[in-house]
Structure 1
Amino acid sequence: MQGYDLIGDVHGCGATLAALLEKLGYHQRNGVYRHPRRKVIFLGDLIDRGPRIRLAVNTARRMVEEGEAHIVMGNHEYNALAYYHPAPVGSGQRWLREHSPRHNRIIQETLTQYRDYPSEWEDNLAWFMQMPLCLELDGLRVVHACWDEALIEQLYQRLPDACMTPEFLVESTDPDTQAYRILDRLTRGTSIPLPERVHIHSGDGFTRRSFRAHFWAKQPQTWGDVVFQPDNLPGDLEQRPLSPSEVARLSYYGPEKPPLFIGHYWCEGIPALPSANIACLDYSAVKYGRLVAYRWSGEQRLNADHFVWIPVPQEVNDRPRPWEIDFE
């Protein structure tokens, strides 16, 4: 083993994933992408939005099950599990995740592509439950959105393998529970509400009333010190001071800690390191950005030269063919 190749949010860009694996030196043998000296770690969010969701899931799953890759759960895999899990009797709702117009829209592309493969979809939902919420391997750490030391310690105390149980899944949909706090922080990170009647028209087509905050500013003072998303804050809100309650909500990951790899935050442009020991690998692939990997070989101080990426085709049907696996 020379190291790990960490791959950010795929979001159904299955053919681009195959092209990236080829670029990284992985080649398909017996239906599985393999490398003689390296393994992949997927950062979650395989599903939703993109043109080849089944291809993305099958490619990653085959690698994981053959020992060629690891994976952590993303918020979209979690959302799918809650969307399909019945709510407790007497809760007043049918499903753990409400089938609202917004939630329906997020998962619609996945359901469309699995419409003729219901058994395969059910089997993949069972596989999602086996995904850990975080990983610590050989001197690196991996989580989809935010590494919060205290909450991860609580998670390990309850679930030593960091994998959800059905009971934990049900509990995690109640905002007053420990399971919710763990799940929400690790897969979604921290969001700070915007002032009343202020909102962001996000690049993913949604209207947002909060912004995503990062967790590596040691003593943040303003909203601009912690905002971590491509959409600009309206007006002069970047200069707005953080309130004590907002500061209390933030996590902090210091520069002395092991290298950490995250996805989730739909960055844009050329991949760059937000911190010497943190790499975000979500570069808005499904919005025709880049599908990004980081080639880690044991270094404790990360190097931006170790990013590798494939631009996602501008046309949704423009799919690279030479590397594509046919699962039909």
Structure 2
Amino acid sequence: MTIRSESEGYDLIGDVHGCGAALAALLEKLGYHQREGVYRHPRRKAIFLGDLIDRGPRIRLAVNIARRMVEAGEAQIVMGNHEYNALAYCRRAVSGSGREWLREHSPRHNRIIKETLEQYRDHPAEWDEALNWFMEMPLFLEFEGFRVVHACWDRALIDEFRRHYPDGRMSDAFLQQSIVPGSFAFKVLDRLTRGSHIPLPDDVEIHSGDGFTRRSFRAHFWARNPRTYGDVVFQPDNLPGDLELRPLSDEERARLSYYGPDEPPLFIGHYWCEGIPALPAPNIACLDYSAVKFGRLVAYRWSGESRLDANHFVWIRVPHDELARPRPWEIDFD
């Protein structure tokens, strides 16, 4: 389903990751003002690219700002991998599956969701409501003139998914099936919310800036004929040694999606870029600039253009004292 625009334009907002006060400040900078507990703009709407939760100091605030805007018709949102992870972490597996939870409660997974669960600990009903809302999030949005997905637009997977779920929202059964490696549901959630990953050689690992050890790297999907790892790597962590020169195998190339230059503008998050926001391709904008690591919370102001313009990025720097004290513009939800 293609959505017709009913506003003068859209403000697309990247991964918030619990920087709720910074989100309020960015919305104010964009001309949204709070009325009756909802941030509104007289002529524009917002679109959130997912990953509202985890890691940051004001997760409940971030979720409530976005949720109130969506429910009031002032914004839309797509699901990020962290919303999907939370759903799987908190959902019991069906009987006979051999596991208790859809997402294993391992030390690594516990660490990722730790801040979220702690901030909702005294608000269990609110957390249940948030999880129910996450289930309502579409995995992608297609408008007249542009597209939105958290990590990767894979046309074949999206077209097949849309045949079964025209509104772009998964069902409970689809969520249950998504933990089965190789299943269609697994492929859809993995590709659309996490993007492409290329495994590193057996003896190589990346010690990432977020404290995790990774044995794969994130690859982008807009190189027409990529030949080496360096042609597709898209993450702030450098590949060890001379791995950027390593040729891609036929199997690795076959696993990559491709979004060509003639496709409509596409907005993604997920890849924790750094520095001044820039366009990785003329028709693609990544809006995740590591806000929760005291980077930038970034928006793109789209007003109908078919060719994206880096001058349309708007951002605020996330201050280190985001952790220290409440902000005067915070909404009191308690």
TM-score tier by shorter-chain length is over 0.9
CA distance in 1, matches of 2:310, 2:148: 17
Deviation at 1:92, TM superposition (A): 1.6
Aligned 1:220-235 pairs, distance under 5 A: 220-235=226-241
- How many residues align? The count is 328
Per-residue Cα deviation, 1:68-98 (whole angstroms, up to 9, x for no partner) = 0000000000000000111121222100000
CA distance in 2, matches of 1:97, 1:263: 22
* Structure 2 gaps, min length 5: 1-6
Q: Which one-letter code corresponds to 1:273 in the other structure?
A: L
- For 2:120, the equivalent position in structure 1 comes to 114
CA distance in 2, matches of 1:4, 1:316: 27
* Local SS of the residue matching 2:253: helix
Native 8 Å contact 2:19 2:322 kept in 1: no
Deviation at 1:319, TM superposition (A): 5.0
- For 1:71, the equivalent position in structure 2 comes to 77
Deviation at 1:276, TM superposition (A): 0.4
Give the 4+ runs in structure 1 shifted more than 3 A: none
Native 8 Å contact 2:21 2:322 kept in 1: no
RMSD: 0.8
Indicate yes or no: 2:220 matched with 1:209. no
Q: Which one-letter code corresponds to 2:143 in the other structure?
A: L
Indicate yes or no: 2:100 matched with 1:94. yes
Provide the TM-score with structure 2 as the length reference: 0.97
Deviation at 1:318, TM superposition (A): 3.9
Indicate yes or no: 2:316 matched with 1:280. no
Native 8 Å contact 1:22 1:323 kept in 2: no
Q: Which one-letter code corresponds to 1:183 in the other structure?
A: L
Q: Which one-letter code corresponds to 2:214 in the other structure?
A: R
Provide the TM-score with structure 1 as the length reference: 0.99
- For 1:103, the equivalent position in structure 2 comes to 109
- For 1:309, the equivalent position in structure 2 comes to 315
Deviation at 1:176, TM superposition (A): 2.1
Indicate yes or no: 2:238 matched with 1:240. no
Indicate yes or no: 2:25 matched with 1:2. no
Residue among 184, 190, 193 paired with 2:190: 184
Native 8 Å contact 2:221 2:259 kept in 1: yes
Residue among 131, 152, 157 paired with 1:125: 131
Indicate yes or no: 2:329 matched with 1:323. yes
Q: Which one-letter code corresponds to 1:124 in the other structure?
A: A
Deviation at 1:183, TM superposition (A): 0.9
Per-residue Cα deviation, 1:91-114 (whole angstroms, up to 9, x for no partner) = 221000000000000000000000
In structure 2, the CA distance between the partners of 1:320 and 1:298, relative to structure 1 (3 Å rule), is: farther
Deviation at 1:316, TM superposition (A): 4.2
CA distance in 2, matches of 1:316, 1:29: 24
* Local SS of the residue matching 1:231: coil
Indicate yes or no: 2:179 matched with 1:173. yes
Aligned 1:251-262 pairs, distance under 5 A: 251-262=257-268
Native 8 Å contact 1:16 1:319 kept in 2: no
* Percent pairwise identity: 76
* Structure 1 gaps, min length 5: none
